Amino acid sequence: MTIPTLSPGALAGLRVVEMGQLIAGPFAGKTLGDFGADVIKIEPPGAGDPLRNWRMIQDGTSVWWQVQSRNKRSIALDLRSAEGQDIARKLIAQADVLIENFRPGTLEGWGMDYATLSRDNPGLVMLRISGYGQTGPYRDLPGFGAIGEAMGGLRHLTGEPGRVPVRCGISIGDTLAALHGTIGVLTALYHRKVNGGQGQVIDVALHEAVFNVMESLVPEYSAFGAVREAAGSALPGIAPSNAYRCADGVVLIAGNGDSIFKRLMQCIGRDDLANDPALADNAGRVRRVEELDAAIGAWTLSRTVTGVLGSLGAAKVPAGRVYTARDIVEDPHFLARDMILSQKTRDGHEVKVPGIVPKLLGTPGQVRSSAPRLGDDTDAVLAELALSPQDIAALRERKVVA
């Protein structure tokens, strides 16, 4: 899939200043940028955002960077200097949204608290993402996504029963915080539009974003004193739904709807279970989940993944295999839905990157520009603040910008 002809996105005209780094704040900025916002990313001169050097590197830059920072402009600005802070305040005065994910109190120490910034820009929407939020007894503690996942309850449920909890494989706590932050930004912008133009602060804590998706965890404890535990690949309290071994791999089968369960049992040749009145509803199936898993597992083990999926697809039973990166980029459904984009880096390499979600049919998101090199847009952004080439050269000489 190649990048289509560009058109204004749903957020065209929205200006965002991104002062975050690594994952949570920049993911929120990336999401807004995908839908047309002008995202100005402020990075420290020298190394820039540390994400530039994370994981696998191509020509000195992480390929992860090509996803996280597409549709952004980079200005290299020393925020620890008084002159750099003054430039940042001028940029924020012209912005609709400010994104930051520093430790609480950092911006206040630079004289960029919301009360000060909003005097020059009353409509400013300020997204603040931190480990524990801007208030509370833990606010000053450092917090990364992994810690938020543990505190929010997710890590306790990952892995096999009785084993050390495992990571889910990606920085899901940061991403959940970013998505909650993006929802907050869009909500605040709507409120600003219909309620007199007043902006506000959105306070997102990593652990709260994780906790918000923990489903029935707390209600079950409140009502029954039940502490949910890790269950491996099973879905506790819902049956049958699990991962099952085949002759050449693993399949996931979700046969937990009443009519789906009956079709599944008929498909595997177990009419006795399909017609058992004690298994007609989920409560009955949960009581006999081990028996059901054993029956399904015995059937899948003698078949290939392809054969199992073919049979279950014909029976209209939800099932799927476990995809690798290779599977994803070669899958016809991913390709048909434009979920694999071919993007050219600033250094001329072609790299495949994830497509844009969600899909707006009237004003779809697009990749309008590849991820910038550090400071690629410093001069252009400063010129928009009416700084002359001489002014910019002087700032560069004093190492305020790069």
How many angstroms separate the most distant Cα atoms in the chain? Answer: 85
- CA torsion through residues 147, 149, 153, 154, sign: negative
- The answer to whether 206 touches 263, Cβ cutoff 8 Å, is no
Given 34, 174, 203, 293, which residue is catalytic? 174
Structure tokens, 125? 């929407």
Strands 72-76 and 38-43: parallel
Residue 228 makes CB contacts below 8 A (sequence gap 6+) with 156, 157, 216, 217, 220, 221, 236
Q: Is there a catalytic annotation at residue 174? A: yes
> Distance between CA atoms of 149 and 295, rounded to whole angstroms?
35
3-state secondary structure 109-159: HCCCCHHHHHHHCCCCEEEEEECCCCCCCCCCCCCCHHHHHHHCCCHHHCC
SS (H, E, C) 372-390: CCCCCCHHHHHHHCCCCHH
User: CA distances (Å), 21 to each of 17, 26, 28, 129, in order?
Assistant: 12, 6, 11, 11
Q: Which two tokens stand for residue 41?
A: 């990313």
Positions marked active-site = 174
